[in-house]
Structure 1
């Protein structure tokens, strides 16, 4: 495989080069955020939605936008890195932004630094999984509902431990609950449930990530006459639902086949996946 590169603060360097020290605040305190995106057919998908979430997150974390991060910045840097990595027209892209300053818990400044990475993908469209996922509910640790809950921050221990649980139980994915015991999201995706001909997804005030693909799927559902309800979702609905699927920006829609002894259909998820690829 050809040598791969990353963009560290505007400089293209080998992806295996050490660029962070142990004093890095992202490493020490999880003091940063990240954004995962899909580069498809030579362009970032939904760049305005991605950069809007990045800027909202930076505002919440009180990070200075001294590098003028915007949609133009995103397109330019991603295209530059794709050319250098010779990824072709399709790749997974990750932008990580962290507070670049000295200090312990209290930072000496709010200036930022960033790392942009890309990974080659072979698919030129969103591909619905042929085999449905087998899931369970992770209840050993719940997700707090607060001002940080909708952001993709570098503090990700809930997801890490959920991933450990997934591996220990030989699952494809697990559902994460919020602090009140209601359905929140999965390890890396938002959750949608089809029940009684309606499409449900946890509301943002339930603590789920404000996913870009979540926004896109909600829009597609409304445009195609599917009744969509953002709500407080009891995990017991997984025992009664007709369908369950999860969404994220890099994979699109992934459908769930089973939970415990329950087996699901895959009609609405397949329909919306087709509509997504038509965009």
Structure 2
């Protein structure tokens, strides 16, 4: 089942040849984790979604409040078999009409969901090797920070990673700075300095990125900043880790000949789980 504009249906019957998300990538989406009947970081997700819709000039339905969004996700989850947690995705797309210029800025939404095997976040202790993806760049602009359905860089990068036996790839912008991974934001620890690329470099405005920044700033002796990261900086780092709301924190163990530890990643993950349990 899916939730289509507030109704649970088996099939939306959307006509692909008319759908602007399919034709032009004219769509914004948000991926959330649901644990114990609670959407984690609900407020952050809602306000990022609303801001994204405004940026791309979609008309936000007046009824689509944060409480309504929560209710609609829970409605779909309640119709699914019990699981430790769930991944839900809400996608907004403009109504049919027009070519590049739409004839209607009003939008519709679909919510889909799937069960997850884990409840709280956990550290993957296995090997996790990454490489730079240099075939295409992410541009330094506001649209790059949004979760839109225009993800061809991430799609082709994922195929490149699979073909070359990498677990993930790191993306670079048009200044040749490293900005993020294929499926999440990037953090780099060098000595006592924890750095993540700034949004102005074109990285995703990640919800888990925000949580990690807030938690890391409370760790005594750790200097936290948002600054550009060059490929050369990766070779000098002690830790690299990738963040998103589904996985949580994924430590990188190897980039080329450089191997990394994961002590800080484990510490931040414990703090993250504690925040979830007691919030």
**Structure 1 equivalent of residue 171 of structure 2:** 176
Matches within 5 A, 1:104-183: 104-183=99-178
Shift of 1:87: 3.9
Residues 153-204 of structure 1, C-alpha deviations (whole Å, 9 max, x = no match): 1111111111111111111000000111001111110000001211010001
Report the alpha carbon displacement of residue 222 of structure 1 after superposing the two structures with TM. Answer: 0.6
The answer to whether the Cα contact below 8 Å between 1:166 and 1:174 also exists between their aligned partners in 2 is yes
Q: In the alignment, what sits opposite 1:271?
A: 267
Instruction: For structure 1, list consecutive stretches of 5 or more residues without a partner in the other structure.
Output: none
Residues 187-235 of structure 1: per-residue CA shift (max 9 Å, x gap):
1100000012110100010000000000000000012232111001112
Q: Which secondary structure does the structure 1 equivalent of 2:272 belong to?
A: helix
Is 1:8 aligned to 2:20, yes or no?
Answer: no
Asked if structure 2 preserves the Cα contact closer than 8 Å seen for 1:39 and 1:89, the reply is no
Distance (Å, rounded) in 1 between the aligned partners of 2:62 and 2:122: 35
* Corresponding position: 1:227 with 2:223: yes
Matched, 1:33 2:13: no
Structure 1 Cα separation of the partners of residues 65 and 82 of structure 2: 23
| Partner SS state of residue 79, structure 2 | helix
The 8 Å contact of residues 151 and 210 in structure 1, kept in 2 or not, is answered as yes
What's the TM-score, normalizing by structure 1? 0.95
Contact 2:32 2:45 in 1 (8 A): yes
Alignment of 1:167-206 (within 5 A): 167-206=162-201
SS at match of 1:106: coil
- CA distance, structure 1, for counterparts of residue 84 and residue 143 of structure 2: 33
Other-structure match for 2:19: 24
After TM superposition, give the deviation of residue 75 of structure 1 in Å.
1.0
Aligned length: 274
Counterpart in the other structure of 1:209: 204
Please state whether the residue corresponding to 1:142 is helix, strand or coil: strand
**Do 2:93 and 2:108's aligned partners in 1 also have CA atoms closer than 8 Å?**
yes
C-alpha contact 2:17 2:23 (8 A) present in aligned 1: yes
Q: Counterpart in 1 of 2:56?
A: 61
Q: Distance in 2 between matches of 1:120 and 1:20?
A: 27
Aligned twin of 1:255? 251
Closer, same or farther: CA 217–80 of 1 in aligned 2, 3 Å: same
CA RMSD between the two structures? 1.3
1:238 is aligned to: 234
Deviation at 1:132, TM superposition (A): 3.5
Unmatched tracts of structure 2, length 5 or more: none
Counterpart contact for 1:42–1:89, Cα < 8 Å? no
